[in-house]
A and B are shown apart, each in its own frame.
Chain A
Amino acid sequence: MYRYDEFDHAFVNERVAEFRDQVGRRLTGELSEEEFRPLRLRNGLYLQLHAYMLRIAVPYGQLSPRQMRQLAMIGRKWDRGYGHFTTRQNIQFNWIKLVDVPDVLAALADVEMHCIQTSGNCVRNVTSDPYAAAANDELETPRVWCEILRQWSTLHPEFNWLPRKFKIAVSGAAEDRAATAFHDIGLRIVRGPNGENGFRVLVGGGMGRTPYVGQVIREFLPKEHLLSYVESILRVYNLLGRRDNLYKARIKILVNTLGIEKFREAVEETGTRRLRLAIDLPEDEVRRIASYFTPPDLPERAPRNEALAARRESDPAFATWYRNNVLPHRVPGYASAVISLKEPGRTPGDASSDTMDMVADLAERFGHDEIRVNYTQNLVLPHVALADIPALYDALAEAGLAVGNNELLGDMICCPGLDYCNLANARSIPIAKEIAKKFEDPARQDEIGKIRVNMSGCINACGHHHAGNIGILGVDKKGTELYQITLGGSPKDDAAVGTIIGPGFRAEKVPEAIDTIVETYVENRNEGESFLETWRRVGAAPFKEALYGAR
């Protein structure tokens, strides 16, 4: 993984010292709250419902065991012993004291982490495929480009005060596992006309109040022009994006107002005009950064492990976990293992400090010192020898973390909702827990198959409800929490925004409604058909009929 050089260390330490001074000046009154708020937000510190919340960047979702242990320590020492992994591969602590934040930031800097630009109208943490450099369908690791974008966008003087926040995701695999189509800029590494790799560039995707699937602005962009092209997109957005209306300020609104053709013209004209001034990275620098992302040295292993095969035969729970949570690896004899943070009864995405320590230990024992956070709020050990999979499972089982529900109904994405969040209109976690309880039988989840259920406690859609095959949105209707259901969303290559199926449901009725939807799918599906395929074939009518009858 990328290692800070002297400049990086100095840069982050200076930032910590700067914020320590700013906190001090806030406490002595030299800074008013109005002056301090943008400064604290630029360092990831929000004021939420119960307390301050600190959002820590996990660049492209990659953590070392040392970093994970530091997060565990921060949770114990300065919070309440747990953290929340988010849909943008970050981690949030919910009960942080303002007076402690400088020390927390210093502790993060000690392990090459920070909170810079995890809030504010700037380029946020660049997200990526959690299986980068491990997936067997990968064309090229996206992390090099994520890191280049991260360094380029951090404190970028021109793009530090954009009309609104700006989110970029990069994927280098055949399958989109980073929801690139729902980002302000989505970058897919693709093979070009001459066999070289480059980027398909999507722009204007996003969720929130006005959801849009990103549109292709450039089918193929040579890799060496990435920064100048992204710069052109941001420059056009910075100039033309609306600043008069918070709800119309994201780039998706600009792209859809201008139309993709006009937007493309503006971007490419800007790029051409400035070509000689372009800031494309010299190849030496790309190589320097790429050198940090050399895959781990994986000793040769047999492609098949007999002990593992025998365990799958003899232990049904292990077999279920293996089937759902273990993914193929590009190197024979290895796999990627998903550590689900979705055990029924737990808050999706939450991990205790003890869990974080344990995952760090497991990454050292079995995972070649690498941990990833995926945007579905789970953890991943990307490089595990097949021979070590049973021992990994046993360790997880002992800790109550061997939940074999990856990508199944129990693997819901869920935002913190009104239990924590200042913006939320409704609670989401308790509903998610009730749904998890209703579907806790692993056999039933297996029978239903892969299905994405996502839930948000407000229209901002941190829980990606728009992209859920089944999406749940909490709204406030005259003081009562009500839940709208959308169907047919997808975060993948067939990205789609879900359709509202009808009137909302009261909280206690939501699990039953999800059950009805799932049963309707199971009754209507053809052999091997996914939820989305069934939905697209039969349409809304049978689901509406089942949910609302003749009303």
Chain B
Amino acid sequence: MPSVVTANRLDDGIVVYLASGGAWTEDIAEAARAEGEDEVKALEATAEEAVRERLVISVYPMPIEVKDDGTVDPISVRERIRASHRTTLTKDWYDVPL
């Protein structure tokens, strides 16, 4: 099962994912995918460097599912909610996009 590395941005707390080249993205579809333990560890090492550089906090890897159409879905409900950057509530009067 492939994995991606997620975190929260230090300055605003927003959910982000490690993309290729050490960049961070809010879009899980752009996240760098790791297959196997060694690749996960390599991503984590890059992410820890970003922690030291005070870009992100609360770094951890998480499993994802890549659908047939190429879209990416986290496995857990929690991570699906985080990836959406919004609550799961029906369109509320205050639910505005990021």
- Does A429 contact B85, Cβ atoms closer than 8 Å? no
User: Is A433 part of the contact surface with B, judged by Cβ < 8 Å?
Assistant: yes
- Does A47 contact B57, Cβ atoms closer than 8 Å? yes
Please give, as numbers and ranges, the residues of chain A lying within 8 Å of B76 by CB-CB distance.
Answer: 479
Please give, as numbers and ranges, the residues of chain B lying within 8 Å of A48 by CB-CB distance.
Answer: 13
- Does B75 contact A479, Cβ atoms closer than 8 Å? yes
Could you mark each residue 28-69 of chain A with 1 if its beta carbon is under 8 Å from any beta carbon of chain B, else 0? 110001000000000000011111100000000000000000
B49-65 contacts to A, CB under 8 A, are: 51, 54, 57-58
Could you mark each residue 65-94 of chain A with 1 if its beta carbon is under 8 Å from any beta carbon of chain B, else 0? 000000000000000111000000000000
User: Is B81 part of the contact surface with A, judged by Cβ < 8 Å?
Assistant: yes
A274 to B1 alpha-carbon distance, docked (Å): 63
- Does B12 contact A97, Cβ atoms closer than 8 Å? yes
Please give, as numbers and ranges, the residues of chain B lying within 8 Å of A96 by CB-CB distance.
Answer: 13
- Does B88 contact A419, Cβ atoms closer than 8 Å? yes
Interface stretch among B17-25, B28-36, B89-97?
A: B89-97
Q: A99-B12, A419-B88, A420-B87 are in contact. Are A33 and B57 (CB under 8 A)?
A: yes
User: Is A350 part of the contact surface with B, judged by Cβ < 8 Å?
Assistant: yes
Interface-central residue, B78, B85, B86, by most chain A CB under 10 Å: B78
- Does B82 contact A98, Cβ atoms closer than 8 Å? no
Say which size band chain B's interface belongs to: 20 to 34
- Give B12's nearest chain A residue, CB to CB: A97
> Whole-angstrom distance from the CB of B97 to the nearest CB of chain A?
10
A400-432 contacts to B, CB under 8 A, are: 418-420, 424, 426-427, 429-430
User: Is A446 part of the contact surface with B, judged by Cβ < 8 Å?
Assistant: no
Please give, as numbers and ranges, the residues of chain A lying within 8 Å of B14 by CB-CB distance.
Answer: 50-51
- Give A48's nearest chain B residue, CB to CB: B13
**What are 8 contact pairs spanning A and B, CB under 8 A?**
A27-B54, A28-B54, A50-B15, A50-B82, A51-B13, A81-B96, A345-B90, A352-B93
A477 to B31 alpha-carbon distance, docked (Å): 28
Interface-central residue, A50, A99, A429, by most chain B CB under 10 Å: A50
Say which size band chain A's interface belongs to: 20 to 34
- Give B79's nearest chain A residue, CB to CB: A49
- Does B88 contact A81, Cβ atoms closer than 8 Å? no
- Give B82's nearest chain A residue, CB to CB: A49
- Give A426's nearest chain B residue, CB to CB: B77
User: Is B3 part of the contact surface with A, judged by Cβ < 8 Å?
Assistant: no
- Does B88 contact A427, Cβ atoms closer than 8 Å? yes
- Give A481's nearest chain B residue, CB to CB: B77
A426 to B78 alpha-carbon distance, docked (Å): 8
Q: A27-B54, A479-B76 are in contact. Are A52 and B13 (CB under 8 A)?
A: yes
- Give A81's nearest chain B residue, CB to CB: B94
User: Is B11 part of the contact surface with A, judged by Cβ < 8 Å?
Assistant: yes
- Does A47 contact B58, Cβ atoms closer than 8 Å? yes
User: Is A445 part of the contact surface with B, judged by Cβ < 8 Å?
Assistant: no
> Whole-angstrom distance from the CB of A425 to the nearest CB of chain B?
8
> Whole-angstrom distance from the CB of B66 to the nearest CB of chain A?
18
A481 to B88 alpha-carbon distance, docked (Å): 14
A419 to B92 alpha-carbon distance, docked (Å): 13
> Whole-angstrom distance from the CB of A288 to the nearest CB of chain B?
41
A153-181 contacts to B, CB under 8 A, are: none
Could you mark each residue 253-292 of chain A with 1 if its beta carbon is under 8 Å from any beta carbon of chain B, else 0? 0000000000000000000000000000000000000000
